[in-house]
Structures are given as C-alpha cells and as structure tokens.
Structure 1
Amino acid sequence: MLNVAVVGNKRRKRCGRVFRFKNFGEQGYPVMFNGSSFRENVNALLEYASLENNVNIGMPMWSFQLELHHHPPLHVLLFVIEESIEAAINRHCNHCQYVGWGNHLICNKKYHFLLPSKEALSSCTSCENCCDSVGTMNNGKSKLIELEGHMMHGVFHSNGFGHLLCVNGLEMGSNLGGNQIMEFWNRLCNGLQARKVSLNDTSQKRGMELRLVNGIAYSEPWFGRWGYKFGRGCFGVTQSMYQKAIEAIRSMPLYLLTHHIANSNHEIPLIFSRYQTLSDHSLITLGDLFHYILELKSRLPRETCIGSYNTNALVETNCRWSPKRIEMATRVIVEALKRTEFRWVSRQEVRDAARVYIGDTGLLDFVLKSLGNHVVGNYLVRRSLNPVTKVLEYCLEDISNAYPCHEGLVMSSSNKVKDKYKITKGQLMKDMICLYKYILIDTKPIIGSEFLSAIPLAARIILDTKYLIKDYGEVPLQVELGSEGKFNLYCTILLRNVNNVGHDHEYYLNNEISMPMPPYECITLKSCATINDLKLEVERNFREIYWGLRGFVVEPNEILVNAKGNEMVFGMIEVGGKLVLEGWHGSDMIEHICERNPNKGIVDCTCGTKEDDGERMVSCDICEILQHTRCVRIPNDEEVPHIFLCKRCEQEIVLFPSLP
C-alpha cells in the first residue's frame, strides 16, 4: 500500500523519519520505484534518507532509522555509502572476478548498504556524528565498509549488478534472524531493480556447512529459497558436477549405509531408527532423512515447553503472585481459548472470559503477557498483533500430534508413550552433527563398501560450490509513448579501440575481452529528439555509469550510417526498441577497463580452472602460471614454499641437456 504520508509530502524528506523494517523496500515504502534504471531508483530512495554531514569518511553517507518493534521500542540503522571508483587504489572488483563477471566494465560508483553490527554502532556517538575510529579513510576506503561481522553488508555497482557480502543472524548476536535479513535484502534488490546479485555461501551452524546440509535435504542451498542458484564452482566444478554430486548423496539408501556402517559405528543405525520411528512415512534415502530432520527442527519450540499446566517458567523471583494462583489463571485462560474453537480472538475478549473465574485483573494481565508463544500441555498459545486493528490477538493451537510431552517431541503407539523415542532440540542437533561428521565428512573406509568413498568425494564437490547468483531479470520494456511526450529506447554499445589495431584479434576473442557489451540501458528521449540527441544521450548515460567510458563517442553503424543528425528518431526507430551502437572508448586497452585484473597473472590449474576463483593459489617461479595450492598438494595449514616449480617446468628442467 502506498504510504501517502511519506510519498505525498515532499517537506517530510530528510526529517529523520522512522520506517518500519518489515515493509522497507516495498513499492511505495518509502518511495515509488518508478525509475527506468538502478541509478534512478537509488537516487529516489536516498531522497528519504538523512545525510550524515559530520562523518569524516571522504564518501557521501546516508542513514535510515528502521523500527523492528514498537513495544518495546527497538530500532536498527541502515547506512548507504557511495564509493567513487576514481578515488580507489584498486579499481577492480574481486567479487566480480570470483563469480565470473571479470569481463564486466568497471563502474564509476559503488553503493554499500549496511546494517551495522553492534560493535560498529558502539563506536558511534550518534547516527548523526560517527567518530573517526569508524569513519576515517583507510587505503581509500571507509573503515565502516571494511569492518566484518555486520548484520548485513551488500554492495551494488552503478549498473545494477551487486554482491551480498555478509548476513549474520541471531546466533552472531544480531537483533534480526537470517530469514528477516534476507527478506529485507530481497525487497531492496527488487525495489532498486537490481540486475543480478552474487554471494559467497560460507554459512555454518555448529561447525556444519549449511550449503552441504541444505543441499542434501532440499537439493539447493539455504539461500535457494530466495532464488539464488549455482553461479560458479571453485576448483573446476561445473553445474553438472554439482547437480550429480547432490543427487548421488541424496539417493544413497539408508539400508546400505546401515549394513556397512553398523559394525564400525553403532550410533548411526540408532539415529536412523530413531527418526524412522518418529516419521509418519518411510525414510528410504539419506535425502529423506536430512529433509525430515530439518523439517522437524523447524517445528520444535524455541522456548522450554510447559508440561501440563506447570507454570514455573512464568514465575519470576520477585513475582507477587504464588505459583498456585498463576497456574490457576493459566488454566482458566487456556480453557477460555479452547471454547473459541481455535479462532483468533482479541486480548480483551480473552480477559473478559477469564474474569468470570479470576477477579484479579492484574494477575490476568501478567499471565496474558507471559503466555505469548508458550506451550501449555498439548497446546501452543499464539499471540500476534492484528495488522489492521492494531490489537493483540490470541489463538490456541493443538500440537498434541507434534509434541505431546513437555520434554520435547514424543510419538506414541497405542496411546502409550515410548520414552526411548523422545527427542529434544538438543538431541536433534547432536544427531545432525554425528551424521554430518561420520557419513559426509569422515567416512571410514570399510572392506567391501568402496561405494562409501563416493560420499566424501561428492560432498567435496558441493562444498566447492560457494558462489551463487540470483537473476532479477530485466526491467519490463516500456513500448508506449509517455504522457509527457517522451519515449524510451534501450541501448547498449559495442566497443572499438584504436589501440587494438595491430594486436592478435583471435587472442582478444578467446579471452573474452575484445568486445565487452554492457547490459541495455533505458534512454529517455523527447518525441521531437533527433539522431544527434540520441547519440548525446547514449554517450552521457554510458559515461556516467562506466569508468572506462569517460571519453566514449558514438560512431555511425549500420542503423545510423544513412541517417542525418537532424532527422527525427521517433518514427525511424520504434518506441521501446533495442539498439546496439558502436563507438570508441578512449586510449586505454579494453582489458584495463574491465573488472578482471590483468596484473594478477594467468591461471591454468590442473583442475581445469582458467580464472581466479578466490581460492589460495601459488605461482610457478619460472613460468609464473598460477595454480591452486590444494591441487599441487600444499596443505592449507602450511605456508607456500619460497621456491615453487610446476610439473611442466620441472619436467623441462630434467630434460634440459647438462652443460659439458
């Protein structure tokens, strides 16, 4: 819904307004994202931010105050920092290089979106006056950008391509859960009209790599629920290898694992049996087991469950009511909610129904406040704020099929509880870690079970797939004449460079740096615009976006060669049409204006990798070819030797004739 109070009143801009976190980034909150490009939408959003004038970081910086809860009040800050590439010491983006975007042109600007960590915020005296220890420049960058451990840090290039650098949820001390942060980030990307966003998935839980655990359980990483898919594998891993590795582990039959592991590890078969008993359907494969365990984990209550009407968890040391009175009030409230037939009812209705039996309204208010999202007997007392009426409502949920015992989840047979099949969240995590360690990572070789060695091999392939990409798609083309007498064309450029003359053309083609073609940009023209106006507008747009196109000039091509400069564009080229224009970009070689850093050296590893993928590498001291240290058997915990020769150079030295 459009927030008229924000959008309609221009005088309220930059007034330090507090925005709701759960809605920020939606269409109309705080702005209608109607821009035809990423840059226009960023500028429109920043109109509603507070400009941080007193921050000495050498970069423009804005902030938004976002409300998580109204009662009790809890806020977080979103910082947006604009980084100019012109002032940067290293203009090449390593994240683009690692994910396979090395042939992208370097952009003039980056926009950092930060939900800072508590440590970073503690270094600030206020959101208007950050101290120098956080803000000052370091090697051309803000220390706030370089700090690690933020709740969220994402960066966009001015052409709409971006990277999600970190997400840290509740387990890292954040005020937000990982799901909440990802939903927030996804709203930002959609609103700003991001093109593609990459991330490096290194998320862990209790020492377990989540891309492996979730891959086995759901055939996709944890970030897959937000549309992130295979982007690029390290150590030569391809998408086909990745999919086959996941399927190989997911389809592993449990009976085979039980048969071969039972003699060497007695705990694994017991874990299989425990979850097979709990499950309502057969768990046949390893994928079935991991899927069921993760689904079960998500259903187990976070709080300690309350057995029967035991209210010890509600009693405070300084509570003025006795445990017996609290237990009685709890029983009355739950029974009142039962009579509502599991419907949502207002707090006042519940209170009025309970007052028939409990006259102490203070006691009722205390118990109602404490019961929210607690388990009482076989019921979960849910509490939520109605988004329309803004009134607290309660509902009772029967969870007897899920957790019929206060100690955890219990499945019963013939109405008789089997104590040995009780499971708590702690026990579930212990079982997961055991399966992860002894089946996926450290599978012991057993005679006659050579197929087990395929599990850690497939797991290694999944772990080597860290770079994920989400494609947000192109902005829908506007193919109609606007109401203001303006229309849109979508243009990209094909670069020609005078310095390429005389060089081996095939070399540039094979290395994908001869003709980098940027994505299409929306060019808005008046209905009376001429061919000369079109050229000037294309030049202006691409010069503003890309650092290497500061001297870009459009040259005649097949489309414009017969057109005169004063001829009208409208009528010659259809509205919403796509154009590819050619031009000169200046004196620099093409490879120097791309994100791929030509000074990093040539990669040619035995695993098949031809480009830097972010993994540790070593350079041969003779040919200077880079290879992975893992592929040449240099352990990660060992330093790279002072002198290193690749296999090819070693062989050439051996074959070299000795001098007389």
Structure 2
Amino acid sequence: MLNVDVIGNKKRKRCGRVFRFKNFGEPGYPVMFSGPFRENVNALLEYANLESDLSMPMWSFQLEVHHHPPLHILLFVIEEPIEAVLNRHCKHCQYVGWGNHLICNKKYHFVLPSKVALGSCRNCEGCCDAIASINNGKSKLIELQGHMMHGVFHSNGFGHLLCVNGLEMGSNLAGNQIMDFWNRLCKGLQARKVSLNDISRKRGMELRLVNGIAYNESWFSGWGYKFGRGSFGVTESMYHKAMQAIRSMPLYLIIHHITNSNHGIALIFSRYQTLSNHSLITLGDLFCYMLDLKSRLPRDTCIASYSTNALAETNCRWSPKRIEMATRVIVEALRKTEFRWVSRQQVRDAARAYIGDTGLLDFVLKSLGNHVVGNYLVRRSLNPVTKVLEYCLEDISNVYPCNEGLVMNNKVKDKHKITRVQLMKDMLYLYKYFLTDPKPIMGSQFLSAIPLAARIILDTKYFIKDYFGDFSSQVDLASQHKLNLYCTILVRNDVSHDQYLNKAFMPPYECIALKTNATIHELKLEVERSFREIYWGLRSFVVESIGNLSINDATEMVFGLTKVGEKIVLEGRHTEMRVNMIEQMCEGDPNGGMVECPCGTIEDDGERMVSCDICEIWQHTRCVRIPNDEEIPHIFLCKKCEQEI
C-alpha cells in the first residue's frame, strides 16, 4: 500500500536502520524478547526512530519488503496514555467478552499506514510533521481508517487486530503477508490474547461465510484464531453445527430439488465437476474446489493467449512456422533459467545461438510479454532500478487439473476453459442463490435450512488467539541471575471489608523476576510496582498479605517458601477506594445500561440496539423487528412494558 522510497527521497530526513519486513519480530530481530509484554515493547522501541513534536509518544521503523524492485514501508508505534482518551473503557474488550478486565494505563498502537495518511510525507521535512499538519498538531493517525494494518495492545498484553487491508484494497502486500507480520509481532512481544472482528468482504460476499463453507473455518484460523464470541446469542456449538450443516449438503439432492426451477445451478455444478480430477459430492467440496482453483488461475487483466497465426496475419514478413520456431527457442531459453527474472538482452543472446535473424527475435520478444505459451506464462516487466526489460516464465499447468494443458497452437476444449472472472461470477451466483436469498427455494424445507445456518455463521464475527498458553511452557529462569514467579492480586474493598473483588475481576498473572535471595518484603514491593505500572485503577494499591503462603516474617526468603515458577496470589487494598470504584476500574462501561435481549444476549456485542423508554433495557433492533435500513423510533417500548401498560 505504501510505495515510499524512504532512502532515495532527500526530503525525508530519517535515521536508523532499515529492517527486513519478512523477518521483523523474529527472536533476535531486532532484539531478543525475554521479559513480559511491556518490557518487550520497551526493548523493541529502543531500535526505532522517535518522532518529535507530537502530543503522544510515537516511534517508527523502516521496513524493506523486497530489494528488487525496491519497496519500503513504515511501521508506526504510538503510545496512548489513559489520560489522552475521552472514554477510558475499551469497546473492543466489551464486544469480545473482556469487559471484566481492568483498565490499563497505556495502549500501544502498531500501524502500517495507508497511502492517504502519509501522502503528504513526500512533500515535507519529516513524517511526524506531515501527520501533525493533517491533524492540527495532534497525532490522529490511530483514528484514520483504511490502514494496511492497525493493531492495538493494552499494557497487560491483551490486544485487538482492528484492520487488515491486502491487495484487494490497493495494498502492495497480500493479506497473508500482513498476517504473518502481525503474528510474528504478537509472538515476539509475548502478547497474551488477541481478538479480531472478521467483517471482510469481497465482491459482495462475506468471506467468513465463504471460507467457513469451503474449509470449515475462518480465513484467520490459518494463524490460530478461533471462535471468540457470537452475536445475537450464537454459541460456539451453534457456529460449528451451522457450518457443517451447509458443507455437508449433497449436490445430487440440491439438483433434484431445483432441476425444474433453475438450470443454471446444474450447469455450474457440471462445469466444475468436469474440471475437477476428483468427485465433488457436497456443497463444501464445490466451494473448496472453486477457491483453490481461483488461487491458481492467473489474473485475466494481464494474460492473453499467444497465437502465431494471429501475428502472421498482421502484415508480418515472417511465416507462422518461423515465428513458432523462434517462440519455442525463447521459451526454452527462459525455462533453463529456472524461472528467474533475466534481462531481455540475456534472453536474446541465448536465442541467437539457434535463430540468426535478430529482427525476428526482436519481433517475437516484443509480442510475447504477459502471454500464455504452452503450459507457461511469459511475464515481462520493467526493472524500476536498472530501467531494463526483464522476462520470466511461470508454470501454469496446474491450473487445468484434467491435464488438458494449453498447447502451442492454443487448441483447448471450451468446456475445460475457465477464467477468474467467470469463476467469481459463478461463486457469487451460488452465494446469493443458496446463502442470502431464500425466496427461490422456499418450496423445499430441505434447502430452506441453508439461509438459517448461513445467518448463524454471519453472526459469528469475533475470533480470538491465545498467544500466552499455559505457564508450564514459560521459562522460569529470568535474566541477570533472577528467578521468575507468577503473581496476581485480590483487591479488598475498603467500603465493605468483608467483600472481595470477584475472581472474574482478578488480573491475569504477571511474571515477576526476583533475585535468588529476595525477601517477602521485596516481593510485595515488586508486585505493587508492576501492577501499579500496568493498571490505571491500581495506582494506589498496597499489598497486605500473601494468600497461599505461610509467612512469619517479611524478611524471610521467598524461594525458601515457594518454588520457581509457582503461582502466587497477593491480597491488598486500594487506599483510594470509593463506592462503585471497582466497576469504574473495568473495561466494561457501567453506564452503558443493562442488556436483556430475547435472543439471550446479556452484554453489548457491538450490534445495533434500542433502549426501552420505560425500563431502559437494551435489545437488538433485529430481534424486535426494526429493519437495519430504518431509523430507530423516537419512542420505543419493549414487549414486556407494552403488555403491562
């Protein structure tokens, strides 16, 4: 998405190293991550360029995607303190079910910016000045939409992947490249859990539905993301059963029910069964094959078939036979390069050993660019550095599974031809007919269940990956002759001394590194420091006791009472605790109102809702039959209040 020549642009005065994009975040590149999340972030930022004159601390990295042709992108890391936000509560945590997490002191935004955000960088002295000028002196990069990638972490290691925009959205990076990069960052920084909201679409199709039918999982599951939370009361069991119900629909039963009403469906089934070298039995088999075939088909916009007869008819002074011979020689010369890019002159010199007519060679080389010859696609490109034309072969024989590959004279049976455009049209037709528009198949109860199952899949948007795993897999030995313990806290409520913070509000265990001769007193101080540093509501937290250790004296040695790697719960109090402060300390907004929807939802899941004007209980507009394209009425009464009145 960003084709910024950071090194060549003299107006961009930047310092520091240029890092390889494909390795960034791996262990030791640029730093060996060995501590807890917040320490790993600080260690990473030591290698970044600090941007100046901004209201929020911001750093940047220069990343080289590839050297030939040169392509550099920028990674920005913005530290957002809790004081800088208008609403302390995180809506992303609330939607995914983490509303009981304590609010953190900081957030870290990792952004691969869009072209729009950095468009003015080419005409300014520095990137930070450009961003500041866009937003009247205050960095609002994190509020802009359409970035190549935008992820945010809370300082306790929980995070949210907010957006990924690949080639389809104009990026120079594919979606899987961006996800690989994000996955390396999360692993390297030792993030705990990361959520995402899968709302990706392509040509009017919801990809979580298409991929679910084809592969029985979301596209993001390739990086370990699993069911997190369903909207409208959808559970994980409902989600998996819905996918299996659609995937297992037999094609022969579908054809039996619709043969008389829609011949186009039977034609599509027949077309891809002919292309496939194995039987397509279910709807899942068909969608899976179509997606796999699409990934192997070349793009129609850059490919044409090469015909020697057509060239000979354009007032050409060479016969078709001579043109075909020169073509064979050039393709064979390219094949010997083992599918590497070579210059036009190298190809010409290799072919001259067999073809003495240089005019013929020049004519064929000029005509061959981005054409299919035999089982190969001849690619031609201008090297942006050397400004020299280069050629490369690409084997596309696997595009035709029936071994009816393209031959020299381009004679291919029509029924075995398929273009990417045609494939996408067929897929969109199946998508609308079966999944989103139940009207044509209402006569069959067998088929009318498909749109219902599709709705359940579409109502599952939130996916989560657990990066932290179990403590047993963590290293118990810290650096500099220190040992690790895993500690969490229970906060005693001063307003009512016999009440404790519910276990659900207990912060996750933090890795505490102590010297081998550390005392209980030093353990308490280190725990207080760590949790105050992470959580906004614990800035005045004081440890008073250790719940699962028998202690007689604060000077006792910690590792004489417990083992390395043990889990310890420390109890204490908040010296500034007030009534209802516990609720204000959590990510879930206590002022958001009570949710009690007929679908069973009892928490805000990010879907559109309406509040009853009498009981003030929130419900989904869809569940109370208010269409999405209609405005919410000025006065609304829930069914219960309406009956009572």
Shorter-normalised TM-score: what interval?
Answer: 0.7 to 0.9
TM-score normalized with structure 2 length: 0.86
Instruction: Give the AA of the match of 2:590.
Output: P
Q: Which residue of 2 aligns with 1:418?
A: 413
Mapped to 1, the partners of 2:362 and 2:519 lie a distance apart of 73
Instruction: Give the AA of the match of 1:43.
Output: N
- Give CA-to-partner distance per residue, 1:391-418, whole Å, 9 cap, x none: x99986654453499xx98799xx9943
Alignment of 1:19-168 (within 5 A): 19-34=19-34, 36-54=35-53, 56=54, 58-124=55-121, 125=124, 126-136=126-136, 142-168=139-165
- 1:198 match: secondary structure: strand
Alignment of 1:404-483 (within 5 A): 417-444=412-439, 446=441, 449-474=444-469, 476-480=473-477
Residue range with higher mean Cα deviation, 125-134 or 345-354: 345-354
Mapped to 1, the partners of 2:436 and 2:332 lie a distance apart of 50
Structure 1: segments with no counterpart, 5+ residues: 1-13, 314-320, 385-391, 654-660
Instruction: Give the AA of the match of 2:305.
Output: G
Per-residue deviation at 1:223?
1.0
Q: Which residue of 1 aligns with 2:305?
A: 307
- Give CA-to-partner distance per residue, 1:614-645, whole Å, 9 cap, x none: 00111111111110011001111111111111
Equivalent pair of 1:495/1:515 in contact (CA under 8 Å): no
Percent identity over the alignment is: 74
Residue range with higher mean Cα deviation, 630-639 or 19-28: 19-28
Call closer, same or farther: CA 1:637–1:552 in 2, change over 3 Å: same
Per-residue deviation at 1:218?
0.2
- 1:627 match: secondary structure: strand
Per-residue deviation at 1:443?
2.2
- 1:118 match: secondary structure: coil
- Give CA-to-partner distance per residue, 1:583-619, whole Å, 9 cap, x none: 2134142111011110000101000001000001111
Q: Which residue of 2 aligns with 1:199?
A: 196
Instruction: Give the AA of the match of 1:167.
Output: V
- Give CA-to-partner distance per residue, 1:260-318, whole Å, 9 cap, x none: 222222211111111111111111110010000000101101364453566999xxxxx
Q: Which residue of 1 aligns with 2:577?
A: 587
Name which of 163, 179, 182 aligns with 1:182: 179
Mapped to 2, the partners of 1:33 and 1:360 lie a distance apart of 62
Equivalent pair of 2:19/2:63 in contact (CA under 8 Å): yes
Q: Which residue of 2 aligns with 1:606?
A: 598
Residue range with higher mean Cα deviation, 417-426 or 41-50: 417-426
- Give CA-to-partner distance per residue, 1:174-219, whole Å, 9 cap, x none: 2211111111111111111111110000000001000000000000
Mapped to 1, the partners of 2:532 and 2:310 lie a distance apart of 68
Q: Which residue of 2 aligns with 1:241?
A: 238
Residue range with higher mean Cα deviation, 80-89 or 598-607: 80-89
Residue 565 in structure 1 maps to residue 557 in structure 2: no
- RMSD over equivalenced CA pairs, Å: 3.5
- 2:22 match: secondary structure: coil
Per-residue deviation at 1:136?
4.3
Q: Which residue of 2 aligns with 1:485?
A: 481
- 1:544 match: secondary structure: helix
Residue 280 in structure 1 maps to residue 277 in structure 2: yes
- 2:642 match: secondary structure: helix
Call closer, same or farther: CA 1:522–1:323 in 2, change over 3 Å: farther
Equivalent pair of 1:108/1:544 in contact (CA under 8 Å): yes
Name which of 614, 618, 621 aligns with 2:613: 621
Mapped to 2, the partners of 1:562 and 1:369 lie a distance apart of 85
Call closer, same or farther: CA 1:383–1:226 in 2, change over 3 Å: farther
- 1:524 match: secondary structure: strand
Q: Which residue of 2 aligns with 1:533?
A: 522
- Give CA-to-partner distance per residue, 1:327-359, whole Å, 9 cap, x none: 776532322355x5x956795997764352367
Instruction: Give the AA of the match of 1:302.
Output: R
TM-score normalized with structure 1 length: 0.84
Alignment of 1:285-300 (within 5 A): 285-300=282-297
Mapped to 1, the partners of 2:213 and 2:269 lie a distance apart of 16
Name which of 253, 256, 259 aligns with 1:259: 256
Equivalent pair of 1:495/1:516 in contact (CA under 8 Å): no
Equivalent pair of 1:378/1:404 in contact (CA under 8 Å): no
Call closer, same or farther: CA 1:499–1:120 in 2, change over 3 Å: same
Mapped to 1, the partners of 2:217 and 2:621 lie a distance apart of 28
Q: Which residue of 1 aligns with 2:169?
A: 172
Q: Which residue of 1 aligns with 2:3?
A: none
Call closer, same or farther: CA 1:162–1:324 in 2, change over 3 Å: farther
Per-residue deviation at 1:489?
1.1
Equivalent pair of 1:65/1:75 in contact (CA under 8 Å): yes
Residue range with higher mean Cα deviation, 442-451 or 65-74: 442-451
- Give CA-to-partner distance per residue, 1:547-590, whole Å, 9 cap, x none: 11101111213434523111121322212222111121341421
Mapped to 2, the partners of 1:537 and 1:373 lie a distance apart of 64
Q: Which residue of 1 aligns with 2:6?
A: none
Mapped to 2, the partners of 1:109 and 1:311 lie a distance apart of 68
Structure 2: segments with no counterpart, 5+ residues: 1-13, 312-317, 382-388
Q: Report the number of matched residues.
A: 606
Per-residue deviation at 1:73?
2.3
Equivalent pair of 1:268/1:435 in contact (CA under 8 Å): yes
